[in-house]
Amino acid sequence: MYAVSLHNATETRRFSIVDLGASGWQVLDQAGGQVVKQVLYDDWHRVERARAVFAAKVAVLRTMGWTEDVVDGYSTNR
């Protein structure tokens, strides 16, 4: 549903939101393969807020020189 993967030299950051159907949405923030935050929401409004926070974090990282990973010619931002 939403996935952005960024890198800067050897560092990586990944932000994702996965629709788990009746279980809700898994919101995951990772740095260097380690989980920074993992939450399961059943309220769509919280998911929207989490996505907005991710977008802000991605924007800051991009201004700091981080670049988005591209897989098969496509951006990871969905």
Q: What residues make up the domain containing 45?
A: 2-71
Please say whether the beta carbons of 29 and 15 come within 8 A.
yes
Residue 30 lies in a domain: yes
What is the pLDDT, as a whole number, of residue 70? 67
Residue 24 lies in a domain: yes
Tell me which residue of 19, 14, 39 sits closest to 29, measured CA to CA. 14
pLDDT surpasses 70 at 77: no
| Average pLDDT of the segment spanning 24-30 | 98
Model confidence at 75, in pLDDT bands (50, 70, 90)? low
Q: Total structural domains in the chain?
A: 1
Residue 58 lies in a domain: yes
Residue 44 lies in a domain: yes
What is the pLDDT, as a whole number, of residue 72? 47
- At residue 64, the 3 state secondary structure works out as coil
Question: How confident is the prediction for the chain on average, in pLDDT?
Answer: 91
Residue 76 lies in a domain: no
What is the pLDDT, as a whole number, of residue 69? 84
Please say whether the beta carbons of 3 and 27 come within 8 A.
no
Residue 78 lies in a domain: no
Residue 43 lies in a domain: yes
Tell me which residue of 39, 1, 41 sits closest to 18, measured CA to CA. 1
Give residue 43's Cα distance to chain centre: 18
